Structure 1
């Protein structure tokens, strides 16, 4: 469960533009395809997403997004890059809740880690081996003390704003109450966009570092919470995953699961009333994960 950092001043609430920023368009070179042909075999992507939402049932609300991950393609003109970016926006599938705003819980740790790695890459900060170990602990063990330390030291609100601007995340913003990092807000579409674009927006080494940490999750979080729910344990092989859990913002429990697998990004964000216990919330998200856990890799033209 997200801890609270020591600072409590209210920051300005910032939102990035919904359109792809120029800097992203200048570097975003990827291979995508229409959603109706995204899977090499199996049911159409939209059917799998609808089945996932149906399997979650009436327990609460779930947002499901599945999209192909980006890859670099050399030698494209600016017009070709923009055309591919436009097609990407129409690729993948969701259950109609992709733009619903959720508190991130521990998923904000992905933004924090990418933002700090980016600052180090561009010479804004210097990271020690101990700092990298703390970031890894924050991702693989979902450590709240590690997240609070990084949030305060590196200006977490600024990190969130920077990541939102660089990736074009129009539904992502820092928490209303300064220091309450778990209450950073985002959408399933933004998380899918962030994870899909990571290989082409971040430096390749930083993208590999972050996904490597995601691919080595501990069975339990640093607070003892069993992380084996949703896509973790359901997706075959060794996916790169991040889990999130929190109670209780607005009288609700939040349980989230994201994964990178088979060239695809899968995002599950959920909330249930506080009266629904963790066992029932986990069971609902496990059920939703089933239909989208084994999405085949996208067909590359």
Structure 2
């Protein structure tokens, strides 16, 4: 089968197109003929070996696929952290979800990582209450586009989006954000408070790190919550200090998606299964939509990673392993 493999860690230059034997599923696993694989910002960390999980080479990157099983089921799945950038992939049955009729490949892949992340950030990490203000950083990205929609749907009083271009800010507004500001602001604290009508904000969803995180924390109202799920700037924030949190009644929550597969849910099996069930239903009801961000062939994978790292993308990016 065709696949993308790395044999050393680094930037986009380490991604190589190769021929590999088909993977063989073990107990509790399923083999999937991949129609599309998802491309995520986290994949750029995986290629560098700078993410929360550590990897060894050689490896096939990619953590999410949609396709067909040997018995004809159409499924979307999380692979065991690797293996997604290929014509065939193996995934645990626990992280494999049947795709309802009426849900296309783009939408299925938009939901399994980005959609579930947005759901968890708002439901479990930030505990959104009706009427609260919500800041969505990187609002034109995969998580951001769905988070804007969910926050509005679930009763946020004001949704404040940040994005780096006019086109991205317009997209966030089209999806329901009340106001969109430039993410390249040199005084994010002041801009967020101004965007909220002169009031400090209640919730911030942040995957940027560095100064953006520091200035967002300062913009929080008492009992405000910042839900942190990534560090795209690759710069560590400095304001997360216990004295600062105590003096302003601030909550900072971290969120890593794999934990949702370990937390049990009485009605759905795991928290991730509950999130996916609700998200599929919202899509079928026309209340949430996926935003296409572009599709790449195997020969374009380096360009895909360069685009991700440069923050030029918006919406959901896909890899077509057939070309």
TM-score (norm 2): 0.27
Largest Rg, 1 or 2 = 2
Task: Say which structure is richer in strand.
Answer: 2
Higher helix share: 1
**TM-score with structure 1 setting the length:** 0.29
Greater RCO (CA < 8 Å, at least 6 residues apart): 1
